[in-house]
Amino acid sequence: MGDQLSRFTRRLMGKDPAKLTKAADETEVFGEETPRLKTGYLSAMDLFRDLTPEEMQDIDRATFMQTCKAGRVFYMPGETGEVLFILKKGAVQIYRMSPEGRKLVMAQLPPYSFFGEMSCIGQGMYDSFAEATEDSLICTMSRKDVERLILSKPQVALRLLEALGKRMVEAEQQLEELAFKGLIPRIASLLMREAKEDEVKGLSHQDLAERLGVHRESATIALNELKTAGIIEIGRKRIKIVDRKRLERAAAE
């Protein structure tokens, strides 16, 4: 790993990786099963499907994997140097802060997502923060290693483009809702996207407000209106959709 990458791994680890060997670092965190676990996580990614074991070993050697505790901010605005992060386990939130201190979540990324500052694939985070919202396993790749991978494996380059295109569509949808919809339609749309079996779990009023770029009080008022109308029921970090058809109509307003 080069000097560019060490800055990010230092923040992930809370120590200077130059003072430790890569093998020692991984054994410290993951134990003796680390090499097998790391290759297994990489192989499970759609991005690397159909690569041979030998090719996966090359990628394994080009990446550095570390744990990142929930709540740790490991990328901040103003970082220089290019690096690609690959999330193996856990969850990561990409967000920006307004001058007034209001938080706007740009993306909530599940396992097997990639993100980072990498101009060669149109991936930018210069003005954003990256925070682990759960205990996570994160791999890092330098620009040099990513470019070599793209040039040697066109199928990987195609999957990168497909994933970035999907992310761009989602960002445009978020921008459209912000510009043209009121708060209740926006929060109704968010609940529909996040619901599993008509329930949204694990999101507080503050979490929902940050996803919409509004104050917590505003999100609470909108939720209470939907509750009073008999469309949803509200519990502790749990929202149940009582009337999906009416929620769909609210989202379309």
Interval 66-80: pLDDT, tens = 889 999 998 888 775
Q: How many domains does the chain have?
A: 2
Give residue 104's domain range.
3-176
- pLDDT score at 29: 39
Domain boundary among 153, 176, 199: 176
Quick one: 165 and 216 in the same domain?
no
- Specify whether the CB–CB gap between 167 and 107 falls below 8 A: yes
Question: What CA–CA distance (Å, rounded) separates 95 from 127?
Answer: 9
Question: What CA–CA distance (Å, rounded) separates 191 from 208?
Answer: 9
- Specify whether the CB–CB gap between 105 and 95 falls below 8 A: yes
Quick one: 146 and 213 in the same domain?
no
Quick one: 54 and 13 in the same domain?
yes
Categorize the per-residue pLDDT at 244 as very low, low, confident or very high, splitting at 50, 70 and 90.
very high
pTM beyond cutoff 0.75? no
Quick one: 10 and 130 in the same domain?
yes
- pLDDT score at 66: 85
Side-chain half-sphere of 90: how many Cα atoms within 13 Å? 22
Quick one: 166 and 224 in the same domain?
no
- pLDDT score at 81: 64
**What CATH number is given to the structural domain containing 235?**
1.10.10.10
Residue 175 burial (C-beta neighbours within 10 Å; 0-12, 13-18, 19+)? exposed
**What CATH number is given to the structural domain containing 52?**
2.60.120.10
